[in-house]
Amino acid sequence: MSRLTTLLFAATFALAAAAAPAPARAQSSAPAAAPMDSTALPQVGQAAPDFSLASTAGGTQKLDKLKGRTVVLYFYPKDETPGCTKEACDFRDHRDDLKRAGVVVLGVSMDDLASHRRFRAKEKLTFPLLADTDGQVSRAYGVLRQRERDGKSFTYIERTTFVIDKTGHIARVWPKVSVSGHVEDVLAFVRGS
């Protein structure tokens, strides 16, 4: 083929390819997580959704009983998993600093109280874990997600932290938390507020 014929062939092929519909993208085996419903994260300044949940400290923990105190309410996916363990241990290891800042730390997942007790004892956690077994509080805070994997649908909590001020309003939100350095960020915020 002459150089001109080769160029004409290449140009014709390029035009045909441009006119053809784009090929469908392969679907990932782990599609993006989606909220379970239209409940969005509470925004800074809004009243924090009230709750009453079973606590490893005994009885139930009610948010309205903590008015007058700053609350760090952190939601995590599952007890005794690597990221959740690191996050919980980071809060534990900063206990004295958080206490000096006047903060109450509460961890929430959909694990039951027995799982929370084992996790708390194993990791020597110094703050209560709350059992949101039906996901209602997680839904109210907009952190419940649904994902499909291998044809099966499952529900989980997206790692998120809220600081609730002394009046019961959202002071700060950290969505989609990256565990490394997170507790230091929370501590810097509560010290400055």
Structure tokens at 154: 């499952």
Cα 50 from chain centroid? 18
Yes or no: say if 44 and 162 are a contact pair by the CB < 8 Å rule.
no
Q: For residues 130 and 56, what is the distance between their CA atoms, to the nearest angstrom?
A: 7
Give the type of residue at 86: K
**Tokens in use for 36?**
């379970």
User: Where do the DSSP E strands lie in 76-164?
Assistant: 103-109, 129-131, 144-149, 152-157, 160-164
Q: Decide if 84 is catalytic.
A: yes
- Give the H/E segment covering residue 34: strand 34-35
Is residue 193 within 8 A of residue 165, CB to CB? The reply is: yes
Amino acid at 192: G
Given the residues 71, 72, 73, 84, select the one marked as catalytic: 84
In degrees rounded to 5, what are phi and psi of residue 131? -95, 110
What residues are annotated to the active site?
84
